[in-house]
Chain A
């Protein structure tokens, strides 16, 4: 198939050619970036919390008197543990995808000069680490006497478990075991490293990262009460949580159960990523609509061209061109126009990505999106032009002898 005559013919339809090419270019730019946005959202949604999500639920209770905290804790834990199917129940202030209550800035020196970032300190009573299902990869487990009574926001000093990501951030390349970090004047010595532990709001913007979390052991009391972790076999969890929710008003009639906050961790994860999921769905919708509109545009213009060229096609057929030749002509023509559009579209995709990077803290568009986008648009163009091209190929040679 010779390209030269096709180009010559296109030159006679400069405006229409340009329009299709521009449409393809815009589609290419939006398509690549929309796919990239979807991939980003999906990736964010895959974040590893480090806890045993399928087996865990949380209960949030408030409204009881501070002075009653010890009593409330004891009664509720005993009540929860008595529910058939409950494997563990403990007091834990924060929870992945739930409330965050221990977000603090930490330093790696006692004078507070080396600010090391904003992290989440999970504050939990005995049994929390085991219930969460944290995987210890170095150091020792927490012992019963590591859980100390306290009066402030946190215990003023404690041995802690730390997520690997945070340890690598604080002391890159060094052994974190035995190292200490400070919150104001309070000090925490790392005795164990867990594989993963995400902050309750992974993806929260600011000087933080998803895995910057540590676990601080403490005795439940006035400042560690009302927030509970519940563990059960995944199959039992829904029923156990329902039982627990009906049990709370009986155990602690004075307290108020937070219905929205008391969920399984999987449900909390679902609602945490609700916006991202909506956005991803919307982007998929945009992509489908975009491809459809682009394809319909190509169909429309190609049909017009076929009709306009009926006579030429007839003449070509009369002087020996096969149906395949005619088909290929239109396919090649479409390929050339789409290629031109893709060339421009790639530049536009990058420009659009730069804008998104500036306003939405998005990373740079990986290069492989461009060839994938190109292949999709080539395919779309060929598919769209197929109908009109087949109709063109069906033009009988005899048309050449007719006028008009």
Chain B
């Protein structure tokens, strides 16, 4: 029966080409617009570390000693808080994170010096965030303590400086210090760059830069303090720092702290430890709002920071509004199409076709329009995505259609057309045979 309906649907579609083309076009344009934005949205709002993100927590304390009614702690913390909490080793793993611009030279090459963003962290970072290596590996905890002059570089930088060869053991010059490369990352492109995100809630939704590539040089935090002192940026200060860029004893917050906590019980215990630490600091007068401690999971932190750019969200809403209009349009056109065939339907009904048969035949025809519209929509989506890729935004290089989104394009197209076809098909199936036959 289905095959017969398909045949009927094809014939019917061919009969009125203009009307069919209009419907297919409406579905295709609506699907193209919404799938383009949905793909970008999906890419930007997904869990960056599935299966692991619920065990990673972002630690916050309110270091600002000035009185006030702030409800939330600042996004990062002081050197003292970060070091105290990190050295306590109360989590399964913990990492301090900060980035700073550093002047980089490769003595073995002829490249001019470059200013590069450098990520500085502690040894656990790589295991916590599942960072992939191509050559070598992370430095060890002893290197953190020894302020070892070591570095790990990205696949991109390794390609640029060493033509992609194994550069472990070679030397880089960071500012005025030689460091030894101990590891080279495999291509790694987290979306967003979740480990150092702060200030997002004040950015007015302009957060596209959170999706830029990871830093190309990674060094131990303790070593970076020495080799790049004077080049650190504060996130915020409650007093002017006496020497700009030298932040270890400055009244400024600038460091992020992540902990890995394997179970809910551990998370509760860590929160208790955190509150206890802050309670002690209150006694010394360094902290005045002990209630402002937070332990947000990775996904909660990204939500709180509002990482998905507001323009991307707006575009998604708009395109679905647009799809709704296309849907109404298709309903109207299908209605016109089906009811025009009143006489034909009347005959079929008089010859014994049930209402259900008419209904399903009409739906098959609607679904067929959806399928053709879906193909058009897919092409338009690919076009839309290539336009997004050409935009000068930080996430442009990540934009592509994956299998799930490819399938979703067709599911959405057919679902839309079936939804559009439902009402007209129902109306068509209510056609009374007698009345139609009389007017013949």
Contact = CB atoms under 8 A, between A and B. Distances in A.
B26 A293 contact: yes
B328 A297 contact: yes
A235 interface: no
A19 B239 CA distance: 63
A275 B314 contact: no
Contacts of A66: 230
B165 interface: no
| Residue in A63, A258, A404 with the greatest tally of chain B CB atoms within 10 Å | A63
Contact of B335 (A19, A23, A152, A249): A19
Interface string A288-313: 01100110110111011101100000
Nearest to B391: A278
A296 B202 contact: no
B63 to A, nearest CB: 16
Give the interface residue-count category, chain B: 35 or more
Interface stretch (A132-140, A201-209, A371-379): A201-209
A62 B318 contact: no
Contact of A256 (B115, B311, B315): B115
B241 interface: yes
Interface in B211-239: 230, 239
A20 interface: yes
B204 A203 contact: yes
Given A62-B103, A278-B391, A256 B328 contact: no
A205 B5 CA distance: 58
Nearest to B19: A300
A152 B115 contact: no
Interface in B147-200: 175
B326 interface: yes
Contacts of B269: none
A344 interface: no
A404 B439 CA distance: 7
Chain B contact residues, majority secondary structure:
helix
A26 B25 contact: no
B340 interface: yes
Q: DSSP class of A's interface residues: helix, strand, loop or mixed?
A: helix
A47 to B, nearest CB: 14
Given A63-B103, A275-B393, A296 B336 contact: no
Interface stretch (A75-83, A279-287, A326-334, A389-397): A279-287
B180 to A, nearest CB: 21
Given A30-B325, A63-B113, A275-B311, A223 B244 contact: yes
A63 B112 CA distance: 12
Contact of A153 (B202, B240, B319, B335): B240
B408 interface: no
Contacts of A338: none
Nearest to A206: B202
Residue of B309, B315, B333 with most partner-chain A CB within 10 A: B333
Given A275-B393, A296-B22, A360-B314, A286 B33 contact: yes
B26 A16 contact: no
A62 B115 contact: yes
B279 interface: no
Given A275-B393, A286-B33, A293 B326 contact: yes
A138 B142 CA distance: 62
Interface residues of A, number: 57
Contact of B242 (A19, A27, A152): A152
B427 interface: yes
A15 interface: yes
B332 A301 contact: yes
Contacts of B204: 203-206, 361
A15 B335 contact: yes
A30 B391 CA distance: 24
Contacts of B29: 289, 293
Given A66-B230, A184-B239, 8 more contacts: A16-B332, A37-B314, A63-B103, A104-B240, A184-B240, A271-B392, A275-B393, A293-B322
Interface of A: 15-16, 19-20, 22-23, 26-27, 29-30, 34, 37, 62-63, 66, 104, 152-154, 183-184, 186, 203-206, 223, 249, 254, 256, 258, 271, 274-275, 278-279, 282-283, 286, 289-290, 293-294, 296-297, 299-301, 303-305, 307-308, 359-361, 404
Question: Which 7 A-B pairs give the minimum distances between C-beta atoms?
Answer: A205-B204, A304-B336, A297-B329, A63-B103, A19-B332, A23-B328, A300-B333
22 contacts: A15-B423, A16-B332, A19-B335, A23-B329, A26-B324, A30-B325, A66-B230, A153-B241, A153-B244, A183-B240, A205-B203, A205-B205, A254-B113, A256-B115, A258-B115, A275-B309, A286-B318, A286-B319, A297-B332, A300-B329, A304-B337, A304-B339
